[in-house]
Amino acid sequence: MAYQTLTVEIDDYVALIRLNRPEALNALNAQLLGELGDALAEADRNEKVRCIVLTGSEKAFAAGADIKEMAGKSFVDVYTDDLFGAEIDRITATRKPIIAAVSGYALGGGCELAMACDFILCADNAKFGQPEINLGVIAGIGGTQRLTRFVGKSKAMEMHLTGRFMDAAEAERSGLVSRVVPAAKLIPEALAAARKIAEKGQIAVMAAKEAVNRAYETTLREGILFERRSFQALFATEDQKEGMAAFLEKREPQFRDR
């Protein structure tokens, strides 16, 4: 499918999705969010895709929701349309892993989009922030909840109340990103991580993603029970037999996603 606000390249079982609205620093408008939802759903269905990398430009992953598009809307408009609700639900419904590769600004909805992915790799020039307070609003795509879970209350509260940005080093120190890499290496590193995931048995990959995400949705007791049942269920797969046999026979496993 051809998109106007993003590009999709598929190679070696990895889909690289690049947000592409350079004139607005990849600000998230309705068209971009709709196309992103379509591209992710298509990647989820495509047997040639096992992992997804979502990125922007060197200057901006995304500078937030599109302020020009939002500025004139009323409460009735955004409430009736449930602004950003359906869009973000489509993104988080993706079952294949999504790595956010963040270079430059990830602000407001851009930071929230990165946090809605499964993990974030960032370039050393990355800047994260929730500056909605400067616009007379607050985060609306999960930022008050997800940032707080990532970095704790004190830092999240400061960022939401003052609008200050966090640089890459602070983001890594705080647990917001898994790793910082030099800007020129961001995409190769993200693709390498994605290819590593693509080599695994995909039933276990999907189960691991579901189980880790449970940690954000439920109590410790329920989450551990969910994990235990998923772990046990994986013994019904051929990949479990193959993975353990390969280890014992000192060879590489040949997973078949069964």
- The catalytic residue positions are 65, 109, 112, 132
Please say which residue, 31 or 230, places its beta carbon nearer to ligand CAA: 31
The least distance separating ligand CAA from the CB of residue 111, rounded to whole angstroms, comes to 8
Q: Contact, 44 vs 83, CB < 8 A? A: no
Q: Which is nearer to ligand CAA, 107 or 190 (CB)?
A: 107
Which 3 state secondary structure label does DSSP give 110? helix
127-129 sheet: strands from edge to edge = 60-62, 105-107, 127-129, 166-167
- Regarding beta strands 51-55 and 98-102, do their DSSP bridges make them parallel or antiparallel, or are they unpaired? parallel
CB of 36 to ligand CAA, least distance (A): 14
**What is the contact surface with ligand CAA in residues (CB under 6 A)?**
24-25, 27, 63-68, 84, 105, 107-109, 112, 131-132, 135, 139-141, 143
Work out whether strand 60-62 and strand 51-55 pair parallel, antiparallel, or are unpaired: unpaired
Among the listed residues 55, 29, 22, the one whose alpha carbon sits nearest the alpha carbon of residue 126: 55
Which residues have C-beta within 8 Å of that of residue 118, sequence separation ≥ 6? Answer: 97, 98, 99, 209, 212, 213
Residue 1 Cβ vs ligand CAA, minimum distance, rounded to whole Å = 25
Min dist. Cβ of residue 84 to ligand CAA (A): 6
Nearer to ligand CAA, 29 or 202 (CB): 29
Nearer to ligand CAA, 112 or 189 (CB): 112
